[in-house]
Homo-oligomer: A and B are copies of this chain.
Amino acid sequence: MTVKNDFEDILMGRRSVKVFDPEVKIPHEEMDEIIRKATKAPSSINMQPWRFVVVESEEGKDKLRPLVQFNTRQNDTSAAMIVIFGDMLNYEYAEDIYGAAVEQGYMPQEIKDDLVGRFVEMYKQLTPAQMNDIVKVDSSLAAMQLMLVARQYGYDTNPIGGFDHASIAETFGLDPERYVPVVIVAIGKGMEEGKRTSRLPVEKIRSYH
């Protein structure tokens, strides 16, 4: 259930929280809603390469624990650890995505046929490094929205980049060549305030041309 809708507060008040109330779980219906909103994020040629592995059970967390060495508190107390992967074969869903756009009246059939053909051809020609970049950028856009939407629903989050990237796909039965890990978002009801952190002054990080 959404508990706040104040954009300024949701965005500016977000802080990484590392200890959660272990009693609080997130119902699947609500989690699906949060993910659905997160994936309103844009993606390159709308290919939506983000995939969410929601680790919430005792068994799942036992599997994840050795992979998140410096972040076991989050693993132990969060409602879920959402492991976000990028799908290197995302274009296999091109027909689904653009077919739905035609059904929903967003795009004429002829345009769709032309686009899907060209987009799939283009994506197949990318090097693995180029596709890796694309799926990481796109999946991160959705990850940021996920962290903000979580606050709309009264939850806190902590994005985790430090984990065993090499073995996490296989740990959850995924092909590591196809699914590249992007970030883990721990989510739950925060039991602490979250530390304040500094930001570089804007003058140091932007230039006008």
Contact = CB atoms under 8 A, between A and B. Distances in A.
A65 interface: no
A197 B106 contact: yes
A149 B44 contact: no
Interface in A1-55: 2, 4-8, 10-12, 14, 16, 28, 31-32, 35-37, 39-42, 44, 46, 48, 50-55
A207 B80 CA distance: 12
B209 A53 contact: yes
Interface of A: 2, 4-8, 10-12, 14, 16, 28, 31-32, 35-37, 39-42, 44, 46, 48, 50-57, 59-60, 63, 93, 96-98, 100-101, 104, 106-107, 129, 132-134, 136-138, 140-141, 143-145, 147-149, 152, 159, 161-162, 172, 182-183, 195-200, 202-209
